[in-house]
């Protein structure tokens, strides 16, 4: 009897997320996310798993339908139902809005997946407010 070799599961792509420091006041953008593809169903589990625990359970994700292909109205992530709300007008083109009841709302700038690292780095730094830390005046 021959056993098939045990192969390790495919690794998850590295989460490319940079969040703005929590300053207590409202912000227009709470950080930047650079997904690896336009497949929201494939990308969301990694994003949601990488968020701070203080953000609570994200129950809804609002996104612009012009930037992402059609998706079902909800998906299961880590044994939790997440509602997916597609809109052409409610959210800016390159933004996703994450909602956690009782915890708040967070708006993330989405860097398009096909952006080069050279182009993405300053965008992510600017959206997260970390550009001043990297490039002092």
User: Residue 36 belongs to a domain with what CATH number?
Assistant: 3.30.2320
Read off the pLDDT band of 12 (50, 70, 90): low
**Residue 2 within any structural domain of the chain:** no
Is residue 137 in a domain? no
Residue 7 located in a structural domain = no
Task: Check: CB of residue 24 under 8 Å from CB of residue 47.
Answer: no
Distances (CA, A) of 132 to 19, 21, 113, 116, 135: 14, 12, 24, 21, 5
**Residues recorded for the chain:** 137
Instruction: Quote the domain boundaries for residue 100.
Output: 28-131
Residue 42 domain flag:
yes
Q: Is residue 105 included in any domain, yes or no?
A: yes
Residue 88 lies in a domain: yes
- Asked whether residue 109 carries a pLDDT value surpassing 50, the answer given is yes
CA distances from 30 to 3, 4, 60, 108, 126 (A): 50, 47, 16, 6, 11
**Distance, CA of 76 to CA of 82 (rounded, Å):** 6
- Whether 1 maps to a domain, the answer reads no
* Residues 29, 106: Cα–Cα separation, whole Å: 7
Domains held by the chain: number: 1
**pLDDT class for 71, splitting at 50, 70, 90?**
confident
Whether 15 maps to a domain, the answer reads no
Phi then psi for residue 96, to 5 deg, are -120, 145
Confidence of residue 10 (pLDDT cuts 50, 70, 90): low
The pLDDT of 49-55, averaged and rounded, is 94
pLDDT at residue 132 above 90? no
pLDDT of amino acid 91: 75
36 or 10, greater pLDDT? 36
pLDDT at 23 (0 to 100): 67
Task: Judge whether 108 and 121 are in contact, CB under 8 Å.
Answer: no
Helix (H, G, I), strand (E, B) or coil at 14: coil
The residue-averaged pLDDT of 1-9 equals 44
pTM above 0.95, yes or no: no
């Amino acid at each position: 009897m021959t056993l098939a070799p045990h192969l390790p599961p495919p690794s998850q792509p590295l989460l490319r997320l940079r969040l703005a420091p929590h300053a207590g006041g409202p912000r227009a953008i709470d950080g930047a996310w650079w997904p690896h593809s336009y497949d929201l169903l494939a990308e969301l589990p990694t994003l949601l798993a990488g968020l701070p625990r203080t953000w609570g359970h994200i129950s809804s994700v609002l996104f612009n339908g012009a930037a992402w292909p059609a998706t079902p109205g909800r998906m299961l992530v880590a044994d939790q139902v997440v509602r997916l709300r597609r809109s052409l007008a409610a959210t800016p083109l390159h933004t996703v809005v994450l909602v956690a009841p009782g915890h708040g709302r967070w708006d993330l700038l989405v860097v398009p997946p096909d952006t080069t690292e050279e182009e993405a780095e300053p965008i992510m730094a600017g959206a997260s407010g970390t550009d001043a830390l990297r490039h002092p005046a």
